[in-house]
Structure 1
C-alpha cells in the first residue's frame, strides 16, 4: 500500500512540474506580445479580411452622415488590430496585404532584400493636415523586430518607397522615402537613411553636403506647383544608377526643373551640385 501511495505521489509531482514548465514556456513566449501559437496558426488572408471589414466601417463613418464617434472607435480598432497582427506574426514581413493596399487602407514599402518593411495608414484624426501611424518591421540577424510610432502632436508621414545601396563593408543602407501632407497646398517629402543593427534600426549619416553629413534630407514644397504631374505621390527624390536627385524648390516653395545631385561613392552620397 505504501509503495502504491509513493508511486502515485511521484506521478502527481511529475504531472504538476510538467504543467508548470508548460505554463512557464507559454508565458515566456508571450513576452512583448509575441506568441508561438499565433505565429504558427494564424491565417493572414483571414486576418486581412477582418481588417478590411474594419476599414469599411471607417469608410461608412466618413460617408455623407459623418459619424465621428464610430470613426474614432473604428480607427482605433484598425490601428490596434494591425499592430497586434504584425507584432505577433513574423510571416507578415513577406505577406503582400494586397486587399488593404488596393482599398488605400494601408500603405507600405519593402526593401529589395525583404529585410525591411515600413507600414503607414491615416488615423483619420486630421483635416487638411493628415496624421499617419507608422510601423517599422525588420529582420535583425534572423530576429523579426517591430517598432510602431503613433501620430499625435506630430502628424508624421506615410511611406512610399525604399531604395537600397551597399557600402564598402557590404552593409545594406536603406533609403526610405516618406511624405507629409501639411495642408491641401503644402507637403514635404523626406529621404531617411537607415541600417539594421543587431537589435534596432539605426540612422545612417550618408548624405554629405557642403557643410555636414546628414542621415535625412527633406523637401518642403507647394503641391499645386506639381499637381499636373501624373505620379502619386510625386517623386521629388529619386535614385538611379547611384545618382540621387533631389528637386530644388524656389523661395516660394515651388518645385523647379532643377535638382540637387548626390553621387554614391560606396560610403556616402557626395553633393555634386545643381543640374
Structure 2
C-alpha cells in the first residue's frame, strides 16, 4: 500500500509539473505574440506609442522567462516548442546544465536587436538571469544557436556558445563565447582562447552574408567544434567579407585553445 501511495504521489507531481510547464509556455507565448503584434502595428491611435508598447512586451517576456525558468528546474529540459515555432531560439548543453534562450526584439530595422535569458543548474537548483545590462551602448546583441561542451578536467566544464549577429542584410557576425558555472554563479568572462592580442573570452568574425547566401542550411553554419579532439574550426574570411573554404583551427591544449599550425 505504501509503494502504491508513493507511486500515486509521484504521478500526481508529474502531472502538476506538466500542467505548470504548459501554463508557463502559454503565458510566454502571449508575450511573444504581443511583440509581433506591436512590431507590425499600423494603427493611428494617438494615445498609443508603438515603440513603448514593443519595449514593454519585450520586458514582460524577459521578466516572466527568468521567473518561470528559475522557479521550475524541469524547464531546462522542456522543449517550449510553441515558443520556438514563434521564433525563439533555445540552445541547450549536452549535459542539460546550461541553456540560452534568444529572441529578436524587433526593435531594430535591418540591424536586428536580440535579447537573451541564461539558465543554469546549481546543485539541482535552476537559476536564470539576463546579461543585457553588461552590453556596451549601441550593441544590438547576439542570438545563440548551439552550446558546445568542453570538459576541461574532472571538476570543470566550459561551455562554448555559438552566437550570431545581424547588422544589416549584408553584414553579419558569428562567434564563440565562453561560459562556465562556478560557485553557484554563471561566469561569462571565462578566458580560454589564446590569440596574438591576448587570451580572450570570445572568438568571432564579421562576414558578408551574400557570400554564403546560397548555402541550404539556416542558420548558415560556419563554425565547427569537434568535442572528442577538442578542436574548434572557424573559416578564413577575406577583407572583403567573403567567406572562403579554408579554416583556421584552434585546439585545446589543456589550458587554452591555441591556434594549430599546419
TM-score (norm 1): 0.76
Counterpart of 1:176?
161
Q: Shift in Å at residue 136 of structure 1? A: 1.2
The answer on 1:114 being equivalent to 2:132 is no
Name segments (4+ residues, structure 1) moved above 6 Å: 39-42
Measured at CA, do residues 229 and 54 of structure 1 come closer, stay the same or move farther in structure 2, by a change above 3 Å? same
Verify the 8 A CA contact 2:118 2:129 in the aligned structure 1.
Answer: yes
- CA shift, 1:125, in A, is 1.1
Structure 1 residues 173 and 257, CA gap change in structure 2 (3 angstroms): same
User: Which whole-Å deviations, capped at 9, do the CAs of 1:15-52 have from their partners, x for residues lacking one?
Assistant: xxxxxxxxxxxxxxxxxxxxxxxx97971112211222
Residue 53 (1) aligns with residue 41 (2):
no
The 3 A distance-change label for structure 1 pair 142 and 56 is closer
| 2:206 pairs with one of 220, 223, 226 | 220
Q: Which residue of 1 aligns with 2:192?
A: 206
- 1:125 aligned residue: 107
2:70 match: 87
Q: 1:231 aligns with which of 213, 217, 233?
A: 217
Query: Of the candidates 112, 115, 118, which is equivalent to residue 136 of structure 1?
Result: 118
TM-score by length of 2: 0.79
Instruction: Specify the alignment match of 1:75 in structure 2.
Output: 58
C-alpha distance in structure 1 between counterparts of 2:214 and 2:197, whole Å: 35
Match 1:254 to one of 235, 239, 242: 242
Closer, same or farther in 2 for the Cα pair 1:61/1:200, shift >3 Å?
Answer: same
Cα separation, 1, equivalents of 2:85 and 2:168: 24
Tell me the secondary structure at the aligned position of residue 176 of structure 1: strand
Cα RMSD, aligned residues only? 2.5
- Structure-2 separation of matches of 1:248 and 1:184: 21
Deviations 1:40-69 (A, max 9, x none): 797111221122233233333344736826
Which of 127, 131, 135 is the matching residue for 1:145? Answer: 127
Greater C-alpha radius of gyration: 1
Distance 2:206 2:225 in 1: 19
CA separation of 1:250/1:82 partners in 2, compared to 1, >3 Å: closer, same or farther? same
Write the deviation string for residues 68-102 of structure 1: whole angstroms up to 9, x where unpaired.
26544433333332233223333322221111012
Partner of 1:156: 141
CA distance in 1, matches of 2:203, 2:43: 38
* 1:181-209 C-alpha deviation (Å, 9 max, x unpaired): 11111111120122210121223322223
Q: Is it true that 1:244 corresponds to 2:219 in the alignment?
A: no
Aligned-residue offset at 1:268: 2.3
- Mark the runs of 5 or more structure 2 residues left unpaired by the alignment: 1-15, 45-49
Q: How many positions carry a matched residue from both structures? A: 235
Q: Secondary structure at the match of 2:217?
A: coil
